Amino acid sequence: MSEKTRILIVDDEEIVRLCLVRTLAGKHCNVEVVGNGQEALALMGREPFDVVLLDVRMPGMDGMTVLKTIKEKWPESEVIVITGYPKIEAAKEAVTLGAYDYLAKPVGPDEIIDAANGALLHKRWALRREPRARPAAMH
């Protein structure tokens, strides 16, 4: 019997949190929600999550700071950045900091499910991968 996937939703808007919970909660997922970055990091410190859906603009600690901290302390956790203010520079920064994906609000249920499944699959493969030398490029 496999363990349930742990998903953390970090967003300061209650309606967004409720929509995401409704989309992702089920018999195979434990979904928890918090309204800011400090709460997210405190929860991660107790038991890291498999996938984190993270808003960028929040009061207090912003999403990019939270992302950086998560990837430094819990690199095995996959983070999906979600924002209502998409910008190319922010998307590049998120990917550079280790985000699995970057989604612009409004985000539909299918897009959320696809991103979460992709992140989980990426995490599982990353944990199985063994470090090995990269083959030389063929010319």
Q: Could you state, in order of their start, the residue ranges of all structural domains in the chain?
A: 5-127
Tokens of 114: 């696809």
Q: Domain spanning 5-127 has what CATH number?
A: 3.40.50.2300
Give the pLDDT band (50/70/90) at residue 4. confident
Q: What is the pTM of this model?
A: 0.86
pLDDT tens, 34-65?
A: 999 999 999 999 999 999 999 999 999 999 99
Nearest residue to 85 (alpha-carbon basis) of 67, 68, 63, 104: 104
Asked whether the beta carbons of 63 and 99 are under 8 A apart, the reply is: no
Q: Given this model, what pLDDT does residue 138 score? A: 44
- The confidence score (pLDDT) of residue 130 equals 52
Grouping H, G, I as helix, E, B as strand and the rest as coil, residue 12 is coil
> Which are the contacts of 67, defined by CB distance < 8 A and separation ≥ 6?
54, 79, 81, 94, 97, 98, 99
Q: Is the pLDDT of residue 2 over 60?
A: no
- What pLDDT, on the 0 to 100 scale, is given for residue 3? 77
By mean pLDDT, which of 13-17, 30-34, 82-86, 128-132 is the weakest?
Answer: 128-132
Is residue 134 pLDDT above 70, yes or no? no
Q: Which range among 67-76, 89-98, 109-118, 129-138 shows the weakest confidence by mean pLDDT?
A: 129-138
Report the chain's mean pLDDT, rounded to a whole number: 89
